[in-house]
Amino acid sequence: ALPIVYIVFQRLPGRGLAFAKPAGLLVIGYLFWLALSLHILPNRPGSIVWVALPIALISLWIVKNHRWKMLDFAQKNTGYIIAIEVVYFFGLLIAAHIRSFLPDIGGTEKPMDFLFLNAASRSRYYTPDDPWLSGFGVSYYYFGYVINAMIGKLAAVPTSVAFNLAVASTAALAATTA
């Protein structure tokens, strides 16, 4: 989504590059949710690839048509681009390190969050199956769980690992965009 963000936020001094990761997750997550909600695709890793393909093609088209402007911007703003990646890397590293001291999914609302993450990860189509009311769909806002379940499914990690990585990556994305 980096080339798309580069065009959409072209009036900003940094061209919105700090928003590229969350924007990519948001757009691909929305397309994934839409495809599963309309029963076009099932909840599988291959479906994620299919919904990401149009974003990749649009990005390639933008790079083809704006590559010289993009390269010029990258050369003039190398420090800014590196700073974005450094903030994300250390944000992820610090958040994952802190989370590693207490990785269990217990206390406060973590069990419920884990429940919804599992529902979003395991349901064949959306609305995810409600884990509390068999035979019904979740009547709760669950889009954030869809995005994190999508990432965990694509990375082929168990939902317990995806849960802890979601906590760390959310903190890193927040630090980067801030």
Q: What is the pLDDT of residues 122-149, one digit of tens each?
A: 999 988 888 888 888 887 888 999 999 9
Q: What is the pLDDT of residues 43-61, one digit of tens each?
A: 999 999 999 999 999 999 9
Share of the chain above pLDDT 90, in %: 78
Contact 51/27 with Cβ under 8 angstroms? no
Q: How many CA atoms lie within 13 A of 121 on its CB side?
A: 21
Identity at 5, one-letter amino acid code: V
What is the value of pTM for the model shown?
A: 0.88
Token pair belonging to 24: 């990519």
Contact 144/95 with Cβ under 8 angstroms? no
pLDDT band at 70 (very low <50, low <70, confident <90, very high): very high
Q: What's the CA angle centered on 164, arms 85 and 108, to 5 degrees?
A: 125
